[in-house]
Every structure is written in C-alpha cells, then in structure tokens.
Amino acid sequence: MKIEDKRVLVTGVAGFIGSNLTDKLLNLGATVIGIDNLFNGRLENLAEALNNKNFQFHKGDIRDFNFLLDIFKDIDIIFHEAAFTSVPQSVKMPESCNDVNINGTLNLLNAARKRDVEKIIFASSSAVYGDTPTLPKHENMPRIPISPYAVTKLTCESYMEVFHQVYGLNTTSLRYFNVFGPRQQDSPYSGVIAIWLGRIIKNKSLIIFGDGNNSRDFTYIKDVIQVNILAAENKSSGAILNIGAGSPITLLDLAKLMLKLTNKEELGIIFDPPRPGDIIHSYADISKVKEILKFQPKYTQEQGLRDYLEWYCKKYEVNLKIK
C-alpha cells in the first residue's frame, strides 16, 4: 500500500511529532486531515502544511467523540500522536494524563471502528518498561510502569491489541525511545535536549536531575518519521515495536556533547536531585522493527544533534559556532 493515494488523519498534528510527520506525508502526496486541541501544539508548526491544498486542519479534542465521528469520513490511516507527554507532569496530574491518553485513545478507536478506518499507528513509549534491569529492552520482556504516564501508554497498547483481535482493526504500536529534533518545545515539561538547547542559547548552565548516569536511547525525529511511513505502507498488524537509535548515551555524556558541539563548554553543568517517576536506563533492542519493517535508523545521536542545531540556527537566526 502506497501512502500517496491515501487519506490520512494525524492527531496532535500541531505538535512536535505530528507536524513533522504531516510535512513528510504531504511531500509524499497523501491527503492529510489534522486535528489538535492546541493545548501544547502550535499553529506555527503547520505554517508549511496550511499552504498545501491537500491539508485540512480541525481544532478539536480527541476526548470529544462527536467531533471525531464528524471528522472520520473516508479515512484510510490514522497516526495517533496526540498525548499528554510529560512524565513529571503526569506525576503531578495523574487524572488529566489518564483522561487525555486513555479516554482519548479509546474514543479514537471507537470512532475508527464505526467509520471503518483501515489502520491505526499509535505513538507509544519506552516508558512502559519501567526500571527492569535487563538492557537493551526487548518487546517481550515484562513491562512495569513507574509513572502514571507509563500506565496510560501501556493501557493504550492493550487497547490497540484488543481492537485488533476483537474488531479486526489494523493497529500498530510504536514504542518511541526519547524522540528529539526540530519543533520540540523548550518548556519545563518538554524533552531534555530541547530544554538544554534553550539554556545554551540563553547562556545558562545545563541542569541534570540525578548524578548524570541515567541513560537514554535518543532517537532523531527523521528516523521516527521514516518508521511511521514504513508502518503505514507495510503489514505490521497487531504488532508492538521498539523505535530507537539502538545506542544509549548517559545524560552526563549528552550534556558534554551538546556543550562541545555548540562551543559553550564554559557554561558547565549543575546537578539537581533526581525526578520522581524517572526511569534510570532506557536502551532499545530494535531487531524486531528491523525484521518486520526493514527499518534502519539513519542518524546517530551526534548526527541528529548536528542536524537539529543547524535547523535551529537557521530558523531562529542564531549564531552558534557548531563544532
């Protein structure tokens, strides 16, 4: 199945991942219907898409079932990126996280079932593994969530599987491992790389929660987009797949690398207490997605960071001397 002939719907279309995915889908010739409640998403991210005749934007919330039923007409594929995304914020507001992620996703699945949507590709998270000691994380190992956020993503994966088994919907859950890149916001509840870049621009020290030995398998947005297209065009029904670069880096090494690449080593690092709900190590075994979808990440963390920094400097006319 080729994406160019399809009518696709992207939830969270004005967000970091949704908007990057939309630009790629439109470039490939798909018709894209985008929805977003603009709580975190920004219309600025859709500047290019809004000028494309194959794009429609609808402001609305995935928790509003009638809104979804109205929009879901002749949709072939849904990319479900809308979410309450922050682990620490979910610790502060578990009900809101539950409402957006679980109730919103169940609404979406029900609307998709009623409107005969062919396929749903769901943005899940490596957070579902929790802190089990086995590394790298592979799909069949126990999942022991340690934050409300992780509980919601795990529950949504189960709903995806059940809607596949019971109603025959083609569902695929992609367990993203720390995605970063253009359009990720610098806000207190955003991903660490966007926050640190914001601090570098303001000439502030980087803050590490904990001793810096936490590790993450940071994955560049362009690889995440690549794998979403592969999942749309190929068969992966009912599957749950890890999506990572397959190479972890400690927070301390990441901080040093970002300071080195931006030539700002003098800013230094501050160590603050660890964040509740944080897992310690996260590292993806990506053999399953390589086999099923023939996915091969194209960006190492350093290559992704360089690409992101170049984009940032151009977009915001910032003069960083990238090493």
Cα–Cα distance measured from residue 94 to residue 87, given in angstroms and rounded to the nearest whole number: 10
Q: To the nearest whole angstrom, how small is the minimum distance from the Cβ of residue 81 to ligand UD1?
A: 11
Tokens describing residue 234: 């190929």
List 129, 149, 220, 308, catalytic entry: 149
* 308 tagged catalytic: no
Please identify, using beta-carbon distances, which residue of 12 and 76 lies nearer to ligand UD1: 12
Residue 3 in contact with residue 28, Cβ under 8 Å?
yes
User: How many Cβ atoms sit within 10 Å of the Cβ of residue 316?
Assistant: 9
| Complex with ligand UD1: residue 22 or 90, whichever CB lies closer | 90
Which positions touch ligand UD1 (CB under 6 A)?
A: 85-87, 125-127, 176-179, 189-192, 195, 207-209, 214, 216, 251, 275, 278
Token representation of residue 85 = 């995304």
Q: How far apart are CA 29 and CA 56, in angstroms?
A: 14
- Residue of minimal Cβ distance to ligand UD1: 125
147 CB burial (10 A radius; 0-12, 13-18, 19+): buried
Angle at 239 between CA 238 and CA 243, to 5 degrees: 150
If the CB atoms of residues 30 and 304 are measured against ligand UD1, the closer one turns out to be 304
CB of 79 to ligand UD1, least distance (A): 16
Least distance (Å) between residue 276 CB and ligand UD1: 10
CB of 95 to ligand UD1, least distance (A): 18
Nearest CB to ligand UD1, comparing residues 51 and 203: 203
Residue pair 71/9 in contact (Cβ under 8 Å)? The answer is yes
User: Which residues are the active-site residues?
Assistant: 149
